[in-house]
Amino acid sequence: MTVNNKDISAELILERAVRHSLLVLSPHARSLVMLLRSLTDKPKKLNDVILECETLRVRCSKLEEVADYLEELGLLERRGDEVALTEDGSELAASIKDVEHEIADLIKMFLEGLSSDFDIYVHLFTGVASIVGVIEGYALGLPLKLILPIHTYLSCLSASALALLARKNKKIIDILEKMFEEISVQGS
């Protein structure tokens, strides 16, 4: 299998967007998001999650505390020296991974010249969709201490990815200016 430069570039942009998004979070929120991201596929030792944090060059100093919190909520369980997500925890983690995959796809499509203006517009509303998720989650009884960090991470991830793409190619800015012109004309 050959890997082209656009694939590598897309991966690097996504990794940078993830890192920037994690860095703006509090230690609690960063640890929460990293636990959910890291445990999506399989149970792991907390030390392995710490290594993943270090790979991204972010500190996750509250992993143990957050693991206890997620366990209290029934989203995580301890299996010996490993931690694993429960079914509910896996669903929550999958929603994070879904957005990450959508953003990765957008980055790759944009770099390959295959994205439309509409694709860019859609990602501007990731934050809005996430707000709806916060409201629905809270209405269903989820604590804000759980869902606000996820919302913040996803909103920052979308914004970071678009900002990194805009630095690479000013076409993003042109697309955004065009969108706001259309909105202001419709609002008049």
Alpha-carbon distance values, 159 to 5, 62, 71, 172 (Å): 23, 25, 31, 12
pLDDT of 126 strictly over 50: yes
| Confidence (pLDDT) at 84 | 97
pLDDT digits (tens, 9 = 90+) for 130-174: 888 899 989 989 999 999 999 999 999 999 999 999 998 888 899
Helices (H) and strands (E) in the chain, counts: 9, 3
Angle between helical axes of 117-124 and 126-139 (0-180°, round to 10): 40
- Our count of domains for the chain comes to 1
Give the residue among 111, 124, 101 at the shortest CA–CA distance from 175.
Answer: 124
Contact 160, 17 (CB under 8 A): yes
Mention every residue, 6+ apart, whose C-beta is less than 8 A from residue 11: 104
pLDDT of 5 strictly over 60: no
pLDDT of 129 strictly over 90: no
| Confidence (pLDDT) at 28 | 98
Mention every residue, 6+ apart, whose C-beta is less than 8 A from residue 104: 10, 11, 14
| Confidence (pLDDT) at 3 | 39
Residue with tokens 């909103």: 155
| Confidence (pLDDT) at 183 | 80
d(CA 38, CA 129): 23
| Confidence (pLDDT) at 2 | 38
Look up the domain containing 31 and give its range: 5-187
pLDDT digits (tens, 9 = 90+) for 27-80: 999 999 999 999 998 999 999 999 999 999 999 999 999 999 999 999 999 999
The count of other CB atoms within 10 Å of the CB of residue 188 is 5
What dihedral do alpha carbons 34, 36, 39, 43 form, nearest 10°? Answer: 110
Query: In which band, very low, low, confident or very high, does the pLDDT at 185 lie, cut at 50, 70 and 90?
Result: confident
| Confidence (pLDDT) at 1 | 37
What dihedral do alpha carbons 101, 27, 43, 21 form, nearest 10°? Answer: 10
